[in-house]
Structure 1
Amino acid sequence: MAEQPLKPPLQKPPGYRDPAAPGKPVVRPPQRKPVLPASFQPRKKRRNWCRTCCCFLVVFFILLSLAVAIAGGIFYLWFEPKLPVFHLQSLRIPRFNVTVKPDGTYLDAGTVVRIEVKNPNGKLELYYGGTHVDVTAWGDTELGTKDVGGFTQGKGNTTSLKVETTVKNQLVDDGIGRRLKNGYKSKELVVNIEGKTHVGYIVQGVKIGTAEVGVFCGGVSLKKLDSGDMPKCSLDLLQWYHPH
């Protein structure tokens, strides 16, 4: 009997996997770190330190301002500080010549001014820095300037300052020269005295802060001054500063 031919082996289909074969290890993708929102991200310590420092400085300056305000209030209530009072005590013009020359009109004049300075403080001394004084007639004609040295004034004290000024061969307008000459003869001439000084307080020998003060005296005629009137000078507080 003839043998039958062998059947060809069956072909495995594509993608076939033998269940009995050992499995290959599965490679898993690396885990990614979760991305947190910006508000959840940890902040740097440097930023926290800067914020703490700024908060500390703000609190410090607030407390310092409160302390200064309280100290100033206590100082004001206890000492009741007042600015000095100035009066134009007297004004003399011993020399006043208006000369007309071929090349113009010239003024020679000399003034003697006394200013009364009163310290109205019963608990505080006052000190004054150097004072610059300017004397003018009718506000625009120069009669001379003078620098007065500083001084200290006791509690409730009254001081008289003497200021002498001169001008020589000062050229003036012809019309102004005639007006000055006539005003001097009739005593209708109006003289102004302006000064600038520094005034401060003294507590137990210690200087407390100083104010730059402008002083204006005058604006009255010679006739009125000769009657014995002592007009009060006005004060302008120009600027506060601390003494060196």
Structure 2
Amino acid sequence: MREPPMKPALQKPPGYRDPSAPGKPVARPPPRKPTLPPSFRTKRKRRSCCRTCCCFLCFFIVILTIIVLVVGGVSYLWFSPKIPTFHLQSYRIPEFKVTVKTDATYLDARTVIRIEVKNPNTKLKVYYGRTQINAIVGKGESETELGQSEVAGFTQGIKNVTSLKIESSTKNRLIDDKDGRKLKSGYKTKNLEVRVKARTSLGYVVGRWRIGALRVTVSCGGMTFKSLDGGGEMPKCTVNFLRWINIH
């Protein structure tokens, strides 16, 4: 028996793709970076400029500090600044009257004080601001102020010695009856203790420049009239410098 003829194979149309065939991997587009607003964008150039400026400023400050320290040290060694010395030359009370009245005790007094100021520096002048001076007598609870006066500011030359004359007075000063009796007795026997306290500012002069102007307190006295009239060595004063350094 004759076999029927075979049918020709169907031709696949162009672009046909077999669904059962494995597909080729599809390339994905690279991920896009998120777009940040201008305020969140990094500014590398500006940050680097700021860092450079800060480094330069720190370096400049360090160099300037070193220069100032070196110049200050050399200047200190060259000028060798010294604190002026003060001596109490004389302390006179031409008028001293204690009056006991029915209501209270009153004091009238006049003082004349001389203080010697020495500038020991060989390369520096010293200038003094306005000086406030208090004359005091007695000690402890009976300490009494006899008046207050002021000395105008002045400049003292190199290796100079200046004598300051200070006059002060008090009128009808009310004092305690007990203190009045002690002061009157001490004045007659010359056992009355006297002292002077001065507050001023001092600094140094280099050419036309003034350096310093620090506040100081000068305390003189603590002795009696007898010791002052003895003609011995002038009592040296104590300089309270910067409130914590005492120079005798």
1:69-88 → structure 2 map (5 Å cutoff): 69-88=69-88
Distance 1:236 1:45, change over 3 A: farther
User: 2:236 maps to what in 1?
Assistant: 232
Q: Does 1:205 align with 2:208?
A: yes
User: 1:57 maps to what in 2?
Assistant: 57
Cα distance, 1:238 vs structure 2: 2.3
Local SS of the residue matching 1:57: helix
Cα distance, 1:102 vs structure 2: 1.1
Unaligned runs of 5+ in 2: 1-16, 35-40, 244-248
User: 1:8 maps to what in 2?
Assistant: none
User: 1:123 maps to what in 2?
Assistant: 123
With structure 1 as the length reference, what TM-score do the two structures score? 0.79
Local SS of the residue matching 1:228: coil
Unaligned runs of 5+ in 1: 1-16, 35-40, 240-244
Cα distance, 1:110 vs structure 2: 0.7
Cα distance, 1:122 vs structure 2: 1.3
Distance 1:188 1:48, change over 3 A: farther
Local SS of the residue matching 1:210: strand
User: 1:5 maps to what in 2?
Assistant: none
User: 2:7 maps to what in 1?
Assistant: none
With structure 2 as the length reference, what TM-score do the two structures score? 0.78
Distance 1:54 1:227 in 2: 70
Q: Does 1:141 align with 2:161?
A: no
1:3-82 → structure 2 map (5 Å cutoff): 18-19=18-19, 28=28, 31-33=31-33, 44-82=44-82
Cα distance, 1:61 vs structure 2: 2.3
Local SS of the residue matching 2:222: strand
Amino acid at match of 1:200: G
Distance 1:73 1:175, change over 3 A: same
Distance 1:78 1:234 in 2: 27
Runs (4 or more) in structure 1 with deviation over 6 Å come to none
Cα distance, 1:47 vs structure 2: 3.7
User: 1:179 maps to what in 2?
Assistant: 182
Identity of aligned residues (%): 57
Cα distance, 1:42 vs structure 2: 6.2
Distance 1:62 1:98 in 2: 66
User: 2:104 maps to what in 1?
Assistant: 104
User: 1:150 maps to what in 2?
Assistant: 153
Amino acid at match of 1:233: C
**Corresponding pairs, count:** 216
Aligned Cα root-mean-square deviation (Å) = 2.7
User: 1:170 maps to what in 2?
Assistant: 173
Distance 1:135 1:50, change over 3 A: farther
Local SS of the residue matching 2:121: coil
Distance 2:81 2:239 in 1: 15
